[in-house]
Structure 1
Amino acid sequence: MGCYYSRESYSEIEKFIVEISESQIGFKNFESKYLDRVIHRYSTFLRISKPQLNRICCELKLDEVSNTALFNQFMVENYYCAKKLSSFGILLGQGNIESKCSLYFKNYDIDNSGTLTKNEVEMMLEQIISMACRVIPKFTEYNNRENPKLREYTSTLSGLEKGLKKNFLGILLDEDESLTEGRFIFKCSSTVAQVLTSSTGIRKYAYEIFKEIERSTRIIISNLNIANVAEDNLILKKFNEAKSSKKNKRKGGLYKPRLNFALNY
């Protein structure tokens, strides 16, 4: 994972660099529901062309040029993915947990079955976590290329994505095979999964996991070092014992002839 930084260092990067960069995108100025409606209005079969993206930016008064590197992360071939961009708006926009979760549910209930299957939940988690832990940090890094701590922070978050997805999948589904909208909202409202409605919340939760991994790693390394020292000491002790024993035997060999001589005499 590279070199480690203190809690203060990563917290400062998040608060004074990443969060500021995120707010400058402009999505936080609107309700998630409104962002979702605008994005879908200008999409065709869940695809957004460049002219359509331009109209979205005009309506939301976003700086399309400054956000080019950001929007490019939502591109699939020669169009933008409306589902991902909409989820991005839900994540960054204003709204309580219940309203955001309801929007997530409708966005990822692909077959309109009224439930989220395991595959749909996995897709939702993968995309939402990626937006918080990769898309936004990468965009921030793009605008702050000379900051090594930011680069380390971005790399750390990206490396935690798969673990976060597995963790939240277990929390949301538990032993269920699918989720109704009510059940999904309940799970998000009553568990740590509520951080899925906040990009900052996801990153802070990810960082706490990282700190726990770091702490566990240090304990393991410390224990290994203690074990190695103990083993080295044991080896040294045995070596000294063997050396002492050999020396004593050698001394015994020198005196033995004299003893025999005395007896013969």
Structure 2
Amino acid sequence: MGCVCSSRDDDSKKNIEEKFIKAAEEMLEIGKLKVDWYDKGISRFAIDEKLSEKNFRHAYESLNLSTEFLNDETSPLFRFYENFKLMKGYEIRKLACLGIWLGIDDWKKKVYCLFKNYDRDCSNRLDSLEIRCMLDDMIKITIAIIEFTQFVYPQKSIMLQKYLRKIKRSREMLKKYLILLIFRGGTIHEINLIDFLECFGDSTVKKMISDQGFRELLIECSELQTKADFIGS
């Protein structure tokens, strides 16, 4: 009985960061939208792969998402969306990736949208550079979401900072590992939509299609890195 209780306590400790992160994500309101609806809502206001602040406001209002934070630089939401901002507007590709992660749809629809989002040259293929861009965006969005959670729950900042350090530590290892899986150990150098969909039959790759799953991969890699460092020492 003691062992069972201990296991439950460990699970509770392991998942406590996720409870706060998911609660903070509800403030973004994107989780109530279908993925393609969100994508169309932001894309129709985009110019040269960017949304000006004015068009960002129009796009979010068209989706019935709050834009009040744009007038408050101290708002956690204002700080969060600064992560998506370029010199002349918000980056449409990263915003779309956020919508794919948080929006409502089955995994196949999300994978399809993910492929199209990073096939910006419309070649119907993703090469290693485009996959790296995808993974870089996912890592940046992951960090932005955790930092956003710190702003929303400042009393949990120390706990979330430790969690964030683990994630930052493992990002390069995870990128290399996923690229090997997607490109079959380097035997191919680009991938079409059908083969990309097939990749997600692998349980590890499939975790990429949700923000929580991607965080789990990063934490798993961090734990592997810790073990490797321990053995190496």
TM-score class normalised by the smaller sequence: 0.7 to 0.9
- 1:143-162 paired onto structure 2 within 5 Å: 143-146=152-155, 147-162=157-172
Q: What residue is the counterpart of 1:138 in the other structure?
A: 147
Q: What residue is the counterpart of 1:84 in the other structure?
A: 94
Q: What residue is the counterpart of 1:14 in the other structure?
A: 18
Change (3 A) 1:158 1:137: same
Where 2:55 maps in the other structure, the secondary structure is: helix
**How far off its partner does 1:191 sit?**
4.0
Q: What residue is the counterpart of 1:30 in the other structure?
A: 33
Residue 60 of structure 1 is aligned with which of 58, 63, 66? 63
1:109 aligns with 2:119: yes
Q: State the AA in 2 paired with 1:25.
A: L
Change (3 A) 1:53 1:26: same
Q: What residue is the counterpart of 2:84 in the other structure?
A: 74
Where 2:191 maps in the other structure, the secondary structure is: strand
Is the 1:130–1:161 contact (alpha carbons within 8 Å) kept by the matching residues of 2? no
Query: Partners in 1 of 2:38 and 2:151 — Cα distance?
Result: 25
With 83-92 and 141-150 compared, the bigger mean Cα shift is at 141-150
- 1:145-184 paired onto structure 2 within 5 Å: 145-146=154-155, 147-174=157-184, 175-184=187-196
Change (3 A) 1:190 1:208: closer
Residue identity over aligned pairs, in percent, reads 21
Query: Partners in 2 of 1:190 and 1:156 — Cα distance?
Result: 24
Query: Partners in 1 of 2:231 and 2:134 — Cα distance?
Result: 35
Is the 1:42–1:48 contact (alpha carbons within 8 Å) kept by the matching residues of 2? yes
Residue 39 of structure 1 is aligned with which of 37, 42, 65? 42
Which 4+ stretches in 1 moved above 3 angstroms? 6-10, 215-221
**How far off its partner does 1:7 sit?**
6.1
Deviation per CA, 1:62-93, whole angstroms, max 9, x where unpaired?
23315211111001113110111111111111
| Count of residues in Structure 1 that have an aligned counterpart in Structure 2 | 214
Name the larger-Rg structure: 1
Query: Partners in 1 of 2:27 and 2:126 — Cα distance?
Result: 33
- List alignment gaps of at least 5 residues for structure 1: 1-5, 222-265
Where 1:160 maps in the other structure, the secondary structure is: helix
Is the 1:125–1:165 contact (alpha carbons within 8 Å) kept by the matching residues of 2? yes
Q: What residue is the counterpart of 2:201 in the other structure?
A: 189
Relative to the length of structure 2, the TM-score reads 0.85
Relative to the length of structure 1, the TM-score reads 0.75
Query: Partners in 1 of 2:11 and 2:167 — Cα distance?
Result: 14
Query: Partners in 1 of 2:103 and 2:44 — Cα distance?
Result: 17
Q: What residue is the counterpart of 2:219 in the other structure?
A: 207
Is the 1:129–1:165 contact (alpha carbons within 8 Å) kept by the matching residues of 2? no
Is the 1:30–1:94 contact (alpha carbons within 8 Å) kept by the matching residues of 2? yes
